Amino acid sequence: MRRFLSTCALGAFAAFAMLSAPAEVQARQGGNFGAGFIAGDPSGLSGKLWLSDVNALDFIAGFSIRNDNYDRNNRNDRNDWLSLNVDYVWHEFGLIQVSQGQMPLYYGMGVWTLIPYAALGVRGVVGIEYLFPSAPLDVFLEIGPGASILPATGVGLSGGLGMRYYF
């Protein structure tokens, strides 16, 4: 039951964010929604929905490539669960100057869940992103320390390198 509730809550939050995003936001060339991939932990699909010129929602749906302490129920088979992350992030565009494009530092916080084990946790995220000047693409590198809340407490670290296409 907890797995079902956490999955429903995450899905409702993502749907609300997508539906409430202002249509006129064109923060990136090509549009305000980017979809792509992330390689790291977890590895999988990455999405970003710009809500304003400095705020966005980051999404990750992927699988882990390593064991960690998030799930302490003696489950060593980490290849059969799906990790879903949603982070609310702020961007600082003025910190790193580049001759072309933009390179903001971003930071924020969010939630994650593991399916089908109904694990739930929180995480912080810090990253750097490069927005290409003449293509609707970005590349990013991020790290996210986190803590599990359910079914047991624990700490872990996630992160990865990725790319997204904006439309």
What are the structural domain ranges in the chain?
2-71+78-166
What residue type is 119 in one-letter code?
A
- 65 pLDDT band (50/70/90 cuts)? low
Write down the pLDDT at residue 102. Answer: 94
Token pair belonging to 110:
């969010």
Average pLDDT over residues 33-61: 96
Write down the pLDDT at residue 2. Answer: 46
Query: What mean pLDDT is reported for the chain?
Result: 81
pTM of the predicted model, to two decimals? 0.77
> In whole angstroms, what is the distance from residue 50 CA to residue 23 CA?
10
Beta strands in the chain (DSSP E): 33-41, 43-50, 55-63, 82-92, 105-115, 119-131, 137-150, 154-166
Cα Rg for the chain, rounded, in angstroms? 16
CATH (one of 3.40.50.620, 3.10.20.600, 2.60.120.10, 2.40.160.20) for 2-71+78-166: 2.40.160.20
pLDDT digits (tens, 9 = 90+) for 88-143: 999 999 899 999 999 999 999 999 998 877 789 999 999 999 999 999 999 999 99
Q: Are 148 and 71 in contact (CB under 8 A)?
A: yes
> In whole angstroms, what is the distance from residue 13 CA to residue 73 CA?
28
